[in-house]
Structure 1
Amino acid sequence: MLQLEDEVTLYSLVFVLVLLGTRSPLWSTALTASLYLFLAMFRFPQVATSRARQVLHPVAGKVSAVAHRGGGHDAPENTIAAIREASKNGATGVELDLEFSADGIPVLMHDDTVDRTTNGSGPLGKMSFSELRRLDAAAKHRLRSKFVGEKIPTLEEAVKECIRLQLTIYFDVKGHPDEAAAAFKHLYKRHPGLYNSSIVCSFQPKVIYRMRQSDPEVLTALTHRPWSLSTLGDGTPRFSSVWKHHWMTLMDILLDWAHHHLLWKLCGVSAFVIQKNFVSQSYIQYWAQRGVEVVAWTINTKLEKQYFEEVLHVNYITDSLVEDCDPHY
C-alpha cells in the first residue's frame, strides 16, 4: 500500500513540474505516462525477502558487524590478512572493494592509485596484475611490521577465503559497471553459495542496474551519503567557487530525491547503505515500509556500536572490531 502511495506522489510531482514548465496538460500527461511505462518495463523486482534476510542476518535475530575494507584499522585493508583478522575478531562479514588491473584482473583495492596503501606509485588501472602482485600492500599500514609483504589479492582469492571462513561479503563496486557485472556473473557461477552469502553495493546506480541486468538473482544495495557532491565527509565544501558549490548543492538535492523515490525502485535493491549521521529510527522505518534494510557506515566507537546494535537494531560497517578508531567518512 505504501509503495502505491509513493508512486502516486512521484507521478503527481512529475506532472506538476512539467505542467509548470510547459503549461501544457497534454505534454504533462504524456511525459508522466512515459515515466510510468519506463519504470513498469525496466525496473527490477526485489530479491525474495527470505533470501535477503539470510544474507543480511546470517545469525538470525542478530545485528551484523561488517569489517570495512576487511577491517582497515586492524590489518592492511582489502587483503587476505584483513579478512582473516576480521574473522578472528568476530566480524559477521567483510566489505571488500573491487577494482581492475590493466590486464583486466579483478583485484581488491579501494583507490584508483596504489600510492596510499602500498610501496608503489601510479594509477592502478595502468598496472598489470604481475606488477601489482610485486607491491607490499602493508607498506603504509600502522601495523606494517606485523603484516610485511602482504599482497594485493585477486577477487577470486578473497572470495575463497571468505567462503572458507563463512563470512558474508559486501562487494563495494567503485565503477566499471560492464566489467564488474561480467566478473560477478562468472564468480557467482563458480561459487553459487554467494547468492546466499553476499551483496553487491555501489554509490553508482548504473553499476547496480547493470548487475541486475546481468544476473537478477544477485542481492544488491545502493550506497549513499547525502551532500556528497558538494561537501566532504566532515562537512567542508568541496569547491571554493560559491556558484559551483550552490550548483552542486542543487545536484545533491536531486540525487537524494532520486535515491529515495526512484533509483531504489528501478534497481530493485534489498538494502540501502547510508552514512551513519543520517540514520534514525524514523529513517529505518521509512525503508522498512519499502522492504529495504538499512546498513550504516562507518561505526568506529564502542558507544556507537552499542547504539546501532541495541537501539536501532541495524547492521553496521566498521574499521575495527577490537577498539575505537578515528571517524571515517
Structure 2
Amino acid sequence: MLQLGDEVSLYSLVFAVVLLGTRSPLWTTALTASFYLFVVLFRFPQLPASRARQVLHLAKDTAGSGKASVVAHRGGVHDAPENTIAAIREASKNGATGVELDLEFSADGFPILMHDDTVDRTTNGSGPLSQMRLSDLGKLDAAAKHRLRDKFAGEKIPTLEEAVEECIKLQLSIYFDVKGHPDETAAALKDLYKKHPVLYNSSIVCSFEPKVIYRMRQSDPEVLTALTHRPWSLSRLGDGVPRFSSPWKHHWMTLMDILLDWAHHHVLWKLCGVSAFLIQKNFVSPDYVQYWRQRGVEVVAWTVNTQVEKEYYQELLHVNYITDSLVEDCQPHY
C-alpha cells in the first residue's frame, strides 16, 4: 500500500501547486481535500499479493527473493510470427512461463491478436483493422513478413479465444496487452474470464493507458492488472529520437512526459490498484524494484533481448522480463 511518506509528499505537492494557482489558502485546502477524497473513494484495492505472485510465477527461493520468469513478447516475435498460435507453441517449447499478447478488434467487433491497427507490417494484406471483418482477416498469411516465413507459411491471425485456449492447454500465463478500446476490451475480457475462470489465476491485463485498466477493474475487480510505462514516450520514439520536429511541441510534450511519469508513480497505480508495473528495461535498477515492492507492486522489465541482460534481471534483480526471443540474442521490436 502507499507509504505514509508518499501520501504526505503527494498531498503537500498538490497543495503547493493549487496554492500557486489560486493564492487562496481556503480554496487550496478545499481542492486538495477534494482530490484526497476522490482518490480514496474511487480507487480500487490491490488484489492479494499471493495471487499476483502465482500469475507472475514468482516462486520464492531459499533466500526469500522472487525467482524470475520469462515472458515471450507477442508470443516471441523473433522465434515465430508474432501474436499467432505458432508463436505461443514455440514459446512453450522454448521454456517460456508466459506470453504477452496484443488485443485488437476486427471491424465486426471480434477480439483478435494484433499489435498494429493495420495488417500491413505483419501480413500479406493491407489496410486498417477498422475496415476488415473477421472473415477478411482469416484469408491473410500472418507469417508473410516474418524472417521464418517459409517455416510458418500460412499461419493465421487467431481470435482471442483461440489464443487463450491454446495458452490454457500449454499452462502458460498470459499478459493481455491492451492499446485502447477500453469499453470493448473490458466487455470482451469479462466474458472470457467468466468462460475460463482459470484465467483469474493465470493472466494479467496490462496497458499504457490508465483508463483501460480502470475500466477493466470497474468491469471485473477480481482481474489482476498492470500499468505499462516508458518514460519520455510522448516526446520520443522507442529509440530515443524526438517525435516532433517543432521545438515548441517537443518541449511541451516533454513537460507532459514529466507529469505523466509523476502520475504513474504517485497516483495512477494507486487509483487503479495495480499488482504489477511493466517498465522499459533501461529504467530498472535494484532501487527501482525495491521502490515498487514496498508498495506491493511487482516489476516486469521489457524488452530484454541479450543473454547478459537476461542474467542481470533474472539472477540479480529477480524480476520477470519480457523478451523477443528465448533462443538467441536479437534486436528489440518496439
TM class by smaller structure: over 0.9
Determine if the alignment matches structure 1 residue 14 to structure 2 residue 19. no
- Equivalent in the alignment of 2:64: none
Matching residue of 1:295: 300
1:16-55 equivalences in 2 (<5 Å): 16-55=16-55
**Partner deviation per Cα, 1:63-90 (whole Å, 9 max, x = no partner):** 1100000001000000000000000000
Residue 324 in structure 1 maps to residue 326 in structure 2: no
Q: Distance in 1 between matches of 2:332 and 2:142?
A: 22
Give the counterpart of 1:221 among 223, 226, 230.
Answer: 226
Counterpart for residue 250 of structure 2: 245
Aligned residue type for 1:52: A
Amino acid at match of 1:304: E
Distance 2:79 2:118 in 1: 22
* 1:270 pairs with 2:264: no
1:106-136 Cα distance to aligned partner (Å, 9 max, x none): 0000000000000000001210000001000
The CA distance in 2 between the partners of 1:257 and 1:271, in whole Å, is 17
Report deviation, 1:8.
Answer: 1.5
Aligned residues: 329
**DSSP 3-state at the match of 1:309:** helix
What is the 5 A alignment of 1:90-239?
90-239=95-244
Q: Distance in 2 between matches of 1:122 and 1:39?
A: 42
| Counterpart-to-counterpart distance in 2, 1:276 and 1:70 | 18
In 2, Cα distance between equivalents of 1:219 and 1:4? 25
2:46, 2:312 → 1: CA distance? 29
Residue matched to 1:279: 284
Give the letter for the 2:233 counterpart. S
Aligned partners of 1:84 and 1:2: how far apart in 2? 39
Hey, what's the Cα distance between the residues in 2 that align with 1:60 and 1:183? 34
Distance, in Å, in 2 between the alignment partners of 1:95 and 1:264 is 20
DSSP-derived class of the 1:70 partner: coil
RMSD: 1.0
| TM-superposed deviation, 1:283 | 0.4
Name the SS of the counterpart of 2:321 in structure 1.
strand
Could you say which residue in structure 2 is the equivalent of 1:88? 93
SS of residue paired to 2:312: helix
Aligned residue type for 1:54? Q
Equivalent residues of 2:53, 2:59 under 8 A apart: no
Q: Pick from 260, 264, 281 the counterpart of residue 259 of structure 1.
A: 264
What is the distance in 1 between the residues matched to 2:58 and 2:316? 20
Residue 60 of structure 1 and its aligned partner are, at CA, apart by 5.0
Partner of 1:74: 79
- Inter-partner Cα distance in structure 1 for 2:117 and 2:94: 29
3-state SS in 2 of match to 1:273: strand
Uncovered stretches (5+) of structure 1, i.e. residues with no partner? none
Q: 1:27-57 CA distances to partner (integer Å, 9 max, x unpaired)? A: 1001101001101110000011111111112
In the aligned structure 2, how far is the partner of 1:325 from the partner of 1:139? 20
Matches of 1:91 and 1:250 in 2, distance apart?
38
Report deviation, 1:220. 0.2
Cα gap change, 1:82 to 1:59, in 2 (>3 Å): farther
Runs of 4+ residues deviating >6 angstroms: none
- The one-letter code of the counterpart of 1:40 is V
* 1:59 CA displacement: 5.0
Aligned counterparts of 1:208 and 1:305: Cα–Cα separation in 2? 28
Distance 2:4 2:293 in 1: 15
**Cα distance in structure 2, aligned partners of 1:219 and 1:112:** 25
CA distance in 1: counterparts of 2:306 and 2:327, whole angstroms: 10
Cα displacement (A) at 1:4: 2.2
Aligned partner of residue 3 in structure 2, secondary structure? helix
What is the deviation of 1:235?
1.0
Conserved? CA contact 2:281–2:303, under 8 Å: yes
Percent of aligned positions that are identical: 83
